[in-house]
Amino acid sequence: MATYQLAQEALAAEFAARWAEALAAVEARQLAGSLTELETAYTAAIRESAAASYTLSVAFYRLVRALETGRVIGGPGYRPGASLGSLWADFNKATGKRTGSGPREVLPVDIRNPFPAADPAREARRAEESFRHQVADRVAAHERERPAREGSAALDDAELVAWEKEFLESLKTGGSGAGGMLVQDAGRDAVHLALQDDPGAIGYFRATDASPCYFCALMAGRGAVYKSKRTAAFGAHPHCHCQAVPIFSRRYRLATENDRFARMWREFGGGSLADWRTYYARNQ
Ligand SMILES: [Zn+2]
């Protein structure tokens, strides 16, 4: 469902904008002295957007399940007396858009909570680790390099400014990729773990953005992944906007991208992953 995928992508973008804003408030030379403020901004922005991602995913899962099975599932956000109308309203609220509506008839309920509980301590640890890799460690390395740069007669002021600017830019990109992954993982994990624990779910498929990387395109082209005891991890990466769309019956419909990548894969005709990468880059 495109609305869902786009809404998750928008949450990652919202995080990226807040991170860019936090960075823009700091001069390159003040970075080392501003790490505490930057970390607070980074982790708070992740926490808030991740909470929204989780809520959105639960509303999406519950809606898709009700549309395909005619039954409501319990868990966070469940309210007695739920109908297709109220589930659409919850989903619309989480996406910030009005995308659908349904009848007010009360649906039968499966009292079960398949959704993973929020684990704030674990999430905080992941955000801190991400900040250390993407920002703190790299600022430290940058600081170690600065005296040599400044002492070098070969570099003029403009080149030094460009060097600082490029570094800030790389912090922006690296932070938005890694932080955006954590934001969307909150929702992706909610769906991926819920379907393992929900006897009503039979699998999922991968909904990508319009131009995913070659690896995600390959995974999406495979279509439905049926649930098994060993359903592999979803496998997202930084700057990846793929989402798992749960499936509850064999009558599911794939997104147009899945069909497009499946066709490309058939036309590719086989070969190594590296061959596919080249083929995909040329034909995308
Ligand atoms: Zn992806």
The confidence band for 143, taking pLDDT boundaries of 50, 70 and 90, is very high
23 pLDDT more than 80: yes
State the average pLDDT for the chain.
93
238 pLDDT more than 80: yes
Q: How far is the CA of 33 from the centre of ligand 1 (A)?
A: 35
Confidence at residue 118, expressed as pLDDT on a 0 to 100 scale: 84
β-strands 203-207, 225-226 pairing: antiparallel
Tokens encoding 117: 């509980």
What is the Cα–Cα distance from 271 to 8, expressed in whole angstroms? Answer: 33
Q: How far is the CA of 163 from the centre of ligand 1 (A)?
A: 31
What is the Cα–Cα distance from 160 to 149, expressed in whole angstroms? Answer: 7
Mean pLDDT of 137-148: 93
β-strands 109-110, 72-73 pairing: parallel
CA angle 256, 261, 264 (to 5 degrees): 130
Confidence at residue 92, expressed as pLDDT on a 0 to 100 scale: 97
Q: How far is the CA of 284 from the centre of ligand 1 (A)?
A: 15
Q: How far is the CA of 213 from the centre of ligand 1 (A)?
A: 6
Q: How far is the CA of 216 from the centre of ligand 1 (A)?
A: 5
Q: How far is the CA of 208 from the centre of ligand 1 (A)?
A: 6
β-strands 203-207, 243-247 pairing: antiparallel
100 pLDDT more than 70: yes
Q: How far is the CA of 245 from the centre of ligand 1 (A)?
A: 13
Q: How far is the CA of 236 from the centre of ligand 1 (A)?
A: 6
Q: How far is the CA of 134 from the centre of ligand 1 (A)?
A: 20
Mean pLDDT of 170-188: 97
User: What is the CB neighbour count within 10 angstroms for residue 247?
Assistant: 24
